[in-house]
Amino acid sequence: MKRMILTAVAVLLMSPCLSFAQKFSVSTNLMDYVCLGTLNVDVSYALSRRWSITGGVKYNPFTFRADNPERQFQYRQISGSLGARIWPWHTLSGWWFAGRLRYQEYNKGGLLSPETEEGDRFGAGLYSGYTHMLSRHFNLEFGLGLWTGMSIYNKYSCQVCGLTVQSGRKYFLLPDDLMISIVYVF
């Protein structure tokens, strides 16, 4: 999965069509950094006046208080997504509506209880937002979304004991991507 995500980002970055001005952007969601330091980047390419394609990755390798297993917590993840946006006015500015396909490998736990859950999620999401032009090259983006799909998971009773409490598959509907993003437009 990591190789596929890196290949998709590399292809987008090296694409010869990137030489057209105001068609390509790179952004980072500041709210993901609040989520225990999740690193993230999204790339977007305008296909036409009203349509753009997007791809993004999120990565969080951090475990907090690892020296004390009873107080340890984390929301480790690697996530990749591909999608499209429709812009009623013009690409890369104004209101937008989006759909995305997403995959996530995660390990979370220790925040509210000692239980830990790890697994894989895959599904689709719907998003909406507004992009405000700050200057020729910088935008500020606000948005939110929901995603739904299937989770294949294992739940453990504590961070380090490895005692499996539950495992299986379940459907989910989760809030996703509360966005306050800084966007650089090429």
Domain that holds residue 109: 2-9+51-185
Q: Where are the beta strands (DSSP E) in the chain?
A: 24-29, 39-46, 51-60, 63-64, 73-86, 94-109, 116-133, 138-156, 164-185
DSSP 90: B
Give tens-digit pLDDT for 103-147: 999 998 887 888 889 999 999 999 999 999 999 999 999 999 999
Amino acid code (one letter) for 85: R
* pLDDT score recorded for residue 120: 98
* pLDDT score recorded for residue 18: 46
The total number of structural domains in the chain stands at: 1
Provide the residue count of the chain.
186
Q: Is the pLDDT of residue 29 over 80?
A: yes
Q: Note the pTM of the prediction, 2 decimals.
A: 0.82
Residue 121 lies in a domain: yes
Residue 24 lies in a domain: no
Residue 18 lies in a domain: no
Exposed, middle or buried by CB within 10 Å (0-12, 13-18, 19+), for 100? buried
Give the model's confidence band at 69: pLDDT under 50 very low, under 70 low, under 90 confident, else very high.
confident
Give tens-digit pLDDT for 136-185: 999 999 999 999 999 999 999 887 777 889 999 999 999 988 999 999 99
